[in-house]
Structures are given as C-alpha cells and as structure tokens.
Structure 1
C-alpha cells in the first residue's frame, strides 16, 4: 500500500506533488492536481473561496490502495458528499473505521481531528467537500458584532459532533447545490462567484437542517429560581456594559453559571442569544438618541459601543431597514 501523511490544509499541495508525484496546475484561486500514470488517473481540484472556505472536487481511480493520514490541530468544519465509490476512513475521536458510500454525506465539526482515509485500488471515487480550517463563525461573517452570537449559535457538543460524522444518506435539500456545483460550466471568474454562493448555501443548509434543528430538540435544560435570577442579572450586566461588554466566559464567572447553562438558558427564557440581546438594546438606545438630535451619528455609535460608524450604520439598517441618517431625517 502507498501511504502519505496529510498534516493540514496548507500542506496539501506539497503532499500531493512531492510525496505522490502528482502534477500541479494553478489558475486564479484554483489548484488542479492530476494523478500521474504511476498512481492511476483523474484529479483533485482545490478551489479557494472567500472567508477561508474551500471546495475540493475529487474524481480519481488508483492502481493500488492509497491511505492518507491527517492530523489537524486547527478547527475544522467539512461537509462531504460522496457521488461514487466507497471511501473508508478512521477518526481517532470516534475510534472506529467507517465507510461512506454512494449518495451519502458526513459532517466534521471539530477543534481537533486525527485519522486517515483510504482509497481502494481500481475504484472510481467522485466526491465534493466544502470545508474551512478556521472557526466557522469567522468564515460565515467578518462582522465583529455578530461573531460571538454566531459562535454561540453553532456551538455543538461531542455527542452531536460524533453523530454528524457518521455517514448518512444525503438530505435531498442539501444534495441539490452539490449537484449544481458539479455540473456548473461557467467561465472562470463567474464560476468562482457561483461556487462561492453554492458553498455558502451548503453551509447554511447544513447548519439549519443538520445542526440547529437537532440542537433545538435536544438542548433543553432545567432552571431553578437561582438560575432565573442569574439570567436576569446577565441582562442587567449587558445593559450596564453595552459599550464594552464582557465575553460569555467572563459573564459566566460574574454570575456563577457554566457557559453552557448560560447560553442555552438565556435563549430559552428570552428567545434570543446573549449577544443578540446586546445588539437589540444597543439599537434601541441608538434609536432613542437619534430621535433626540443632541448627538451626531458618530457620537451615538460610540455611545452604544461601536468604534466604527460604518459598522454601526450596517447593524442599524439590518434592525430598522434604514440607515441612521435616513432615520433621523
């Protein structure tokens, strides 16, 4: 068996070209790695999109079994759709060998991933993966005001993470954008724009249908009177510190709750996340200040915790449908 070591995403080009002797071509943000006759036929296409998201399209046949080992120390989010071929893989976190078959998909959502995947000889493997090796909250949104809220929104426990990693028949809703990516034949520039839109669609559908809905049915907790009092204390702290709010970890220490109970309990009681509530009270205060006409818009932005007036205007428009300037006049 031929073997190669895949350390992380950045090492992938060197791994393929040097260890396996595959040829490499680069065009804009696309990398094409052609399998040489020594190993088989086909290619790996790697497409680097915005916000650290990448698409990998694989269409290969190997003469001999090939096992790729990987050890990823940075956060990884990946959705894989297997079009053809039975791909064997092992993940240390689950400590089991699994097989992904035609028409199946799996989701990796972990801060540390180690294991291997194996291509069997003379099998035609075709699959597409959407992945990012940076925190998913960063890939989804560069807006600092939404970063903590998104982080809470997509935070999952090990039980759910392991469940998602088990290959299952792909959800038809999720299958459609994968197929559209595979069959896309647009010119290079428009192709990248199209692929990025489809990749983000897949990420959104995965979060909504495979993660958020699952969490909504499982993440219920019991809160006693003391817990309820602490939740209202959280609201009070956020109101008093909206200009420079504490982090979730800092909040949990201030009120004496673990971060999980704080995040889940707050949303159960108030119907929004801690940072969603912060955004709402900031915008309400900003609206009142705009109506008073005593401060200019830059001063109001600072007053409610935004150092960047443009960022403030964007969040205000999302909330009220108009810019602060149009609201005032």
Structure 2
C-alpha cells in the first residue's frame, strides 16, 4: 500500500509541536523530532540563518509519495549510511551521496521502504556558497555555475560515491564531542569540509579527470593501523617505507589510501595531531613549553614554537594557565 501526502500534510506531521524535544543541554539550535513515517528520529541543527544540518536515523517500512508545490531549494549535500537491511530487493547504496544545486525543486518525491538508515543532510543558501566560491571578479568558476540556478529553473542533481575521507567527516559529525557555541563552530567546520570534498569531485568530473581508486576493506584496516603506529611513536615516527612494510602495503597504496581515508598525508596527519596534543597539554597540564615540545616529538624549541604559531596563530606560552 502506498500513502500519498500533500506537502501541507507532510509538514503538519513532521512538525507536530508535541513531539519537539531539545537535546540534553537545552540548545535551541538543535531540535530532535520523532520520525512519523516509521521508527526513529531526525534532528535539525541550525548553524546559522543560511546553513543547517539535518541528521536522520530511521527505518521506513512503507512507501509513500509526497506531492509538493514548486518551491525554492537551497544547495543540498546528503550522505547516507546503511545500518542493516531487512529488504532483499533494496536498491539503496550506503556508499553514495546526493548533490542538489539550488533552483526550483521537483513537484513529486517518492520515498521507498528502507532499512535502518542514517542520513546527514547539509543545506546551504546559494548566496553563502557563491561568496565562498566566487573569483576576484565576483563570478563562480565556469565548472560550478550549474550548481546555482535561478529559482524558476530546475535544480542540478546527481549521485556520487563517498570516499573514506567523507565517511570519516560524517562520523565526526555524528560523534560531535562539544556543546553550545563550540558545537556550532565544530559542526560548521565539518560541513564545509564535506562540501569541499564534494565540490572537488564536481570540478574533476567537469574536467573529465575524476577517478576514485577503491580501497579493499582489508586495506582500510591497514591504513588505520598506520595511524595507530604513528600515534604510538610521536617522538620518533617510522619512515613511510617502514610504515608500509609494517602494515603489509606497498608505499604508493599506503600514501594514497591514507589520504583517501583521513583527507591528508601521513605526516600531515602526524603534524596536526602533534599540534593539537601540544595545545591540550599546555592548557590542561602543568607542563612548560620545553616539556611539551619534547613530548610531541620536537627536539628544537624554536621549530616547535614556529609550528605551533603557524597552526594556532599564537605562541605556545600564551596557552599556559
């Protein structure tokens, strides 16, 4: 049986006031609602007037058709995670993301039965995206102009394949460790990180040079082992060749795979971790700058201070209590 809903009925169900809940910290910008068309919930996080984040965790046992009026649609970046499937013929692909440009949204949407699914959706007003992507003359690059269309034009839409780096950013959003204003800053940073990765794929697609080298699950496990080895040897990390040999990968696969999974190079990751750990030690522990520098693997105090200042814009000493 298929349920057919008007946009007004859909919104009436979705926004029932008696099911609105704030999170445990009482943050007005982060609201959780019960999912009305199956089991689960969805959260709406308003990062600013022009940027919002929606996190849905649900199972939808029945299909329904949503009849929509023509409406203005922002840029949308939607990432899917499939938890488990009870449907043998399900066509949903957990490795996909969905990109929609701005413009006029379609008149009808079909929602098929689904397994337990997590969706992380980003909505950005086209003016905000334009301000980030425009060149010196105030125009978008030719390869991205199709993403922002007039409100009376149909939106550009496509599905794409998530990279391990995208999945990591999605997981970091779902496991955000902060509250309040700090949470808003952290989540918006992750939003732009995901947008940057999707836009980079869009640029490469339009230039005809996009290709993802798929990693085997066993290779991904080895890449995570590389990270663990790095973190255990901050003061004296192995060379790239030594790391590759230790986890059983060739040098090229390890370097390319690490960048896909973590979005940066092996030693770029090491550097960022050293600096973040150094900042934490300076703030939370009674250690002087020299002790912290040695703990994170710097033999030269001037080199440590320069790296710290470049990363955070302040001297290490200014972070001490």
Q: TM-score, normalised by structure 2?
A: 0.50
